[in-house]
Amino acid sequence: MSDTTRGGPATTLNEVTKQSGDGMMLQESASDVLAAMNAHPLGRDAALIGTVTIDSHWFVQIASRVGGHRIVDRLSGEPVPRIC
């Protein structure tokens, strides 16, 4: 798996789906449970980003608030250079 800071979360999640043989559905919105977790000091940084799905194409998709889906592709071209 590549360095997330160089390929971004999209590239990393695409690598995970390819290696696992599953897909992922990312969400643009969060649930009430997440709000309750964020209200606690130990959960203030908790985030819901999506779920693992059964997908023979290993797609990472994002579900919009209005009900549409789009594919989240891996970074194309050269990876972001390291800055440290």
Q: For 34-66, how does the pLDDT look when each residue is reduced to its tens digit (9 = 90+)?
A: 888 899 999 999 887 788 888 888 888 888 878
**3-class DSSP state for residue 24?**
strand
CATH superfamily for domain 4-71:
PurM-like C-terminal domain (3.90.650.10)
Residue 67 DSSP class: S
| 28 or 54: which leads in pLDDT | 54
Cα separation, 66 vs 28, whole angstroms:
10
52 Cβ neighbours under 8 A, 6+ residues apart: 20, 22, 23, 24
All structural domains of the chain with their residue ranges: 4-71
Residues 70/64, Cβ–Cβ less than 8 Å: yes
